[in-house]
Every structure is written in C-alpha cells, then in structure tokens.
Amino acid sequence: MILHNDMPFFQTNVKKIQPEDAEKLISRHKEFQGKFIRNENYYSDKHKILLRKQADENKPNYKIIESLPSYAVDIRTGYFSGEPITFTCKDETQQELLDNILEYNDFQECNMELDHFTSIDGQAFLILYTDEEANVRFATESAKNCFVIHDTSLSKNMIGAIRYYEYEDVEEDTINLDVRLWTKDKIYHYTGPSGTLTLQEESTHNFGDIPVVEFMENTERKGCFENQISLVDAIESIISSCINEIEYSDNAYLMLKNLSATEDEDVKDMKNNRIMLIDEDGDAKFITKDINDTYIQNTLNRLVADFHKLTKTPPLTDESFAGNASGVALKFKLFGLEKDMSKKERKWKKSIQRMLELVTNVINAKNNKSFDYRDVKLTFTRALPTNVTEMADMVAKLNGILSDETLISQLSFVENAKEEIERKQKEDEEKMQVMDIYRDSDISDPKLEEDNKGENEDVNNNNSMDSSNS
C-alpha cells in the first residue's frame, strides 16, 4: 500500500481487495477524519474561538463568529453549479434515454450536493446503483465515509471503492463496521467488529466498471477555505478581544482626586442626584483604556482582504461591485474566481464523463444499443449576472457564421439548444398552417374558381376541336 500523508488518495499493489485489505484502507482513511470534521465544523460556524477562555473570570468573554468559510462555500457553489449542466446528444434516441435517467434522479440537485461537499472537504462521491425496477439511481456521499482505491500503474486505474459506517451493537457491546466494497463487476457487503469482518452479501452489477465516481475541488483534494482557516481564527480572535475590551472599559473606574473623605453615602447621593461637589484642589474623572482602533481596523481589513484573495471568493458586498456593471466588467472582477472554476470544471468534466460512461453501459445493455458516451456534449454555465442585450447582439452578429445550435447555446436562459431549435421549427410550421386559410376548407376563393372555370372551358373546346378534326 502506498500512503499519501498530505491528501486522502489511496493506492495499492494488490490485484483483488480482500476484507483484511479493506480494513487496512479504512484504518488509513480514518486518519483524515480530523480534517473532514474540522472543515465541516468551520462551515457550520463551530470555530476554534468557541473554546476560548478568559484567565480572569470577572472579564467578559465574547466569542464572535465570522462566517467566512460558509460564505466562501455558498458563493463558489452558487457560481459553479447554480446553473444546470446541459447534455446534448447527436442521436435523438440516446438523448431521450439519457434525459430520462438524469431527470428521474434529479441530477442537477445531485450536482449541487457534490459541489457543496467538494467545496468543504475537497472531494465527494457519486454512487450509481439500480433499484428494484432496474432503474439507474444516483446517491451522493461525502468524503468522510467513502473513498476509491487506485492501482500503482502510471495511469492510476481505479480498482475498487469503499463506503463504510461505524455503529454500536448494543447487544454485543461492540463497535461494528458496515462496509460495502465495489469492484468492476461485484458488490461485497461486510459487517462485524474491526478485525473480524464477515461477508453478508455478494452481488453483481451491470455498470461495466466500478459504479463510484470521485469529484474533486482541486488536485490536492482540499476544501476551498481549508488553507485559510488560520486567517479566520485570527480575525475572530481580534474582533472578540476588541468586543471584550469595550465591554470591560464600559465598567470604568471613577477617580476622585483629593477627595479621600468621600464616604459610601456620598457616592450614593452623587449617583441619585447626579451632582458632585469638588473642593478647589479636587478633581473627578473616569479612567478608561485607550484603544488604537485605527491599527486594529487596518489589521482586520488586511486579514479579511487576504481571505477573499486567497480563497478567490470576491466580496460581493464591496462597493466595487455596486452599479450596473457590464458583463465584461463583472468578468474582470471575478477573474480569480473564474480561473479557479475553470480548473475545477476540467476535473468535473472528467468525472461527469465517467458517470456518462457507466450510464451508457446500462442503456446499451437494456436497449441492445451501441451508444458512445463521448457523443454527449457537456455545457457548463456560470451563474453570472449577464447583460442579455449584449449577448443577443453578439448572437445576431454571428448569425450565418456559426450554427444555430452553437449560437443558441450561448444564451444563459436556454437550457437545451437542440430542444429550443425543435420548438422553434414546430412553432414556425404551426404559424404556416394558420396562415394557409384555404387549407382543408370548403370555402374557396371566387376569383380562383372563375379562373379555373375559364381554363376548363378552354380545355374542353380544344378537346372538341381535336375530336372533330379526327
């Protein structure tokens, strides 16, 4: 087994994974549980600052949470998967069969879940299976409970996938494992205490390969904010300390100079009457702590800006995003995010194509077809505010240069260009039928009848003359 200490990537040189191999891999995978739990806690606003304690119990101890990780995840997932992926096939039958499977599984919702998981944990998994009616079904799984295994070749081929859960057996008072292992043609289900797994069920599948697809945020398999957690901790520490100082300073001390004869009753009278009598050489003032708020604010601004810059998540509430900016101007402001999403799209496309390969294998087996998954064209659309007028002008100018399908696919509000072209053609045909008012009607045009009558009389006269000449 080859270990990768920096990321959850698993390789082994065994040809067939046995139960003991699965347990070793699971034990290795558990070493990354701390990373997954930490990332998910930071997304759920369970940050390190909540464990902070004050040395002096009399001082306030506010713990301010800045939801920057969840902001980064929500903005990035909305931008990347907020608009549906479109699938376009050359063959109409293939298109129909594929659309039925994708719609039956609500693939666009699955896609958003996978994007959500990968943004937090760095990776997620799509599991394909068939239900009782032999329909292809999709299930999403986070990286906490699932992983895939590769061989040691240069191509790093996938040779297996494991999904596992721990549960407590109350009767036996043990912690058991529930493990499912997928290979290229079979599914193994193991249960039992660690070290003594027993096979419960063995079944075959018809996907033609391991029906588990890995989706990645990046090559390192890290969450979008994972490397910037220290920035979040620093921001929350500074803000919490400032709030605590302000709260503590509100309980300021009153200094009475040369008024040592003041008694408790005098203090009560001053509080009630809000009047203080001071001798000639006396003085009274509150003692407060000076706080350099300019330095603190500059530090906070720098840390927050670094978080947005390093996570490539734009601060959409910033004044620079205000106003009616054109589509080109918005793209410049989102340049860093777009470049990051472009790299993610390439990895996403590879995973989607593997999913299509598995689905196509089942379609071909059930329908006796020979469709090629590579004939399916994928179109990713960013959820970016667009200037529809600018886009329409561009499409109009390119009319006659590019195909109608290519031009229509550029319009963000059109999900399927091919279907849109078919609907337009059908609509045009219906309009032509409506315009033909004499089609399939008993009402005829009097002028046409008169013309036809004249033509018929001429024909009859000519026929008569021919007959007499004969």
* Gap between the Cα atoms of 73 and 220, Å rounded: 17
Whether residue 320 lies inside any domain: the answer is yes
- Residue 392 is predicted with a pLDDT of 80
Whether residue 119 lies inside any domain: the answer is yes
Whether residue 235 lies inside any domain: the answer is no
Whether residue 161 lies inside any domain: the answer is yes
Range of the domain at 23: 1-31+67-224+313-385
Whether residue 375 lies inside any domain: the answer is yes
Is 162 strand, coil or helix?
strand
CA distances from 410 to 135, 344, 375, 407, 424 (A): 33, 20, 20, 5, 17
- Residue 163 is predicted with a pLDDT of 96
Residue that the structure tokens 């309009």 belong to:
431
- 49 DSSP assignment: G
- Residue 57 is predicted with a pLDDT of 78
The amino acid occupying position 361 is N
What's the pTM?
0.76
Is 215 strand, coil or helix?
strand
Question: DSSP characters for 5-25?
Answer: TTS--EE---SS--HHHHHHH
- Residue 452 is predicted with a pLDDT of 56
Give kind and range of the element (H or E) at residue 297.
helix 293-311
* Gap between the Cα atoms of 353 and 351, Å rounded: 5
Domain count, the chain: 1
- Residue 334 is predicted with a pLDDT of 83
Closest CA to 179 of 193, 171, 418: 193
Whether residue 125 lies inside any domain: the answer is yes
Contact at 8 Å (CB) between 130 and 119?
no
Query: Helix 92-104 vs helix 335-367: angle between axes, to the nearest 10 degrees?
Result: 110
Whether residue 74 lies inside any domain: the answer is yes
Whether residue 62 lies inside any domain: the answer is no
* Gap between the Cα atoms of 102 and 461, Å rounded: 70
- Mean pLDDT per 10-residue segment, the chain (470 residues): 69 86 91 94 96 82 94 95 91 94 95 97 96 93 95 91 89 86 94 88 94 95 96 95 78 64 68 64 65 85 94 82 61 85 95 96 93 93 73 81 80 74 84 67 53 54 52
